[in-house]
Amino acid sequence: MSAILDALLPVLLVIAAGHLVARLGIITGDQWRGVERVAYFLFFPSIVFAAVARTDFMALPAFGMSATLMLSVLAMTATALVLRPVLAARFGISGPRFTSIFQGSVRWNTFVAMAIAENMLGPEGLALLAVAIVAMIPLINVLCVLVLSRFASGEAPGAHKILLDLARNPFIWSTGAGLLANASGLPLPEIAWSTLDMLGSAALPVGIVCVGAGLDLRALRRPGPALTSALILKLMLMPLFGFGFAMLIGITGPALAAVMISMSVPAAGASYLLARQMGGDAPLMAEILTLQTLSAAVTMPIVFLIAL
Highest-confidence segment of 161-165, 262-266, 267-271: 262-266
User: According to the model, what pLDDT value does residue 278 have?
Assistant: 83
pLDDT at 1 over 70: no
Average pLDDT of the chain is 89
Residue 111 sits in which domain range?
2-307
- Whichever domain contains 98, its CATH number is 1.20.1530.20
* Mean pLDDT, rounded, for 125-154: 87
Band (pLDDT 50/70/90 cuts) for residue 217 is: confident
Number of domains into which the chain is organized: 1
pLDDT at 149 over 80: yes
pLDDT tens digits, residue range 93-115? 999 999 999 999 999 999 899 99
pLDDT at 156 over 70: no
pLDDT at 153 over 70: no
- 30 against 110, higher pLDDT: 110
User: According to the model, what pLDDT value does residue 154 have?
Assistant: 57
Backbone angles phi, psi at 253, to 5 degrees: 65, -145
* Mean pLDDT, rounded, for 274-291: 87
User: According to the model, what pLDDT value does residue 143 have?
Assistant: 92
pLDDT tens digits, residue range 198-215? 999 998 899 888 888 888
* Mean pLDDT, rounded, for 170-182: 87
- 298 against 162, higher pLDDT: 298
- CA distances to 35, 65, 200, 263 from 42, rounded to whole Å, are 10, 27, 8, 25
- 197 against 36, higher pLDDT: 197
